[in-house]
């Protein structure tokens, strides 16, 4: 799928590449690809909630219209959270293809698809978190590498039979330290 990134906009908030962001809500934030050529596919992203960081508490506040989608999640201990690195979005950062992982120049220059750098063509973050509680459409989690107010794109339960790591995992030397 070839998706145009230069034309991704947040309706009602200005262009995503300009970093013009307001308050995330279920009614105002919508990302979509526009002005497509014959090889591009159109899609729309609707955030399902936002990250709330208050003192030592980290919550995923799910928009009211998605509260029923949380049914049964209390049976799981962990969730994958997909969110948008909204405050890291500039045309320059989207064009960075290689970085020194973890910002450490001692690490070899590495392609962004081979590390977890927050600069990438599409600023979608994926992380696994422990659920500490679920209350009134809000998930309380143990940690998150996101800013307060970051848009949540999706939540998926951790299922060991699907998500358990394979036995023959290999990582580069720079990651072993």
Place of tokens 């120049």: 105
pTM: 0.75
Residue 35 lies inside a defined structural domain of this protein: yes
Q: What is the pLDDT of residue 16?
A: 36
Q: What is the pLDDT of residue 18?
A: 34
Q: What is the pLDDT of residue 37?
A: 64
Residue 74 lies inside a defined structural domain of this protein: no
| Closest CA relative to residue 155, chosen from 122, 136, 129 | 129
Q: What is the pLDDT of residue 38?
A: 63
Residue 134 lies inside a defined structural domain of this protein: no
Q: What is the pLDDT of residue 28?
A: 46
The count of domains in the chain is: 1
Q: What is the pLDDT along the chain (177 residues), one digit of tens a residue?
A: 333 333 334 333 333 333 333 445 555 445 554 455 666 666 778 899 999 998 889 999 999 999 999 999 999 999 999 999 888 888 888 899 999 998 899 999 999 999 988 888 888 999 999 999 999 999 999 999 899 999 999 999 999 988 887 888 888 988 886
Q: Per-residue DSSP letters for 25-81? A: -TTT--EE--S--TT----EE---EEEEEETTEEEEEE-GGGGGGGTTGGG-SEEEE
Domain that holds residue 35: 1-46
Residue 36 lies inside a defined structural domain of this protein: yes
The count of other CB atoms within 10 Å of the CB of residue 29 is 22
Residue 26 lies inside a defined structural domain of this protein: yes
Residue 39 lies inside a defined structural domain of this protein: yes
Residue 127 lies inside a defined structural domain of this protein: no
Residue 71 lies inside a defined structural domain of this protein: no
């Amino acid at each position: 799928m070839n998706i145009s990134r230069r034309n991704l906009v947040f309706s009602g908030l200005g262009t995503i590449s300009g970093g013009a962001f307001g308050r995330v809500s279920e009614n105002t934030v919508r990302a979509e690809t526009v002005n497509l050529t014959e090889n591009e596919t159109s899609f729309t992203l609707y955030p399902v909630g936002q990250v709330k960081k208050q003192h030592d508490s980290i919550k995923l506040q799910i928009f009211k219209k998605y509260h029923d989608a949380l049914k049964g999640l209390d049976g799981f201990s962990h969730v994958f959270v997909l969110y948008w690195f909204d405050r890291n979005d500039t045309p320059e950062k989207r064009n960075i293809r290689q970085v020194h992982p973890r910002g450490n120049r001692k690490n070899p220059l590495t392609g962004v698809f081979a590390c977890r750098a927050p600069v990438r063509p599409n600023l979608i973050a994926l992380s696994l978190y422990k659920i500490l509680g679920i209350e009134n459409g809000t998930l309380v989690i143990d940690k998150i590498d996101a800013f307060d107010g970051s848009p949540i794109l999706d939540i998926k339960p951790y299922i060991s039979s699907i998500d358990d790591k394979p036995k023959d995992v290999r990582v580069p030397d720079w990651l072993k330290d």
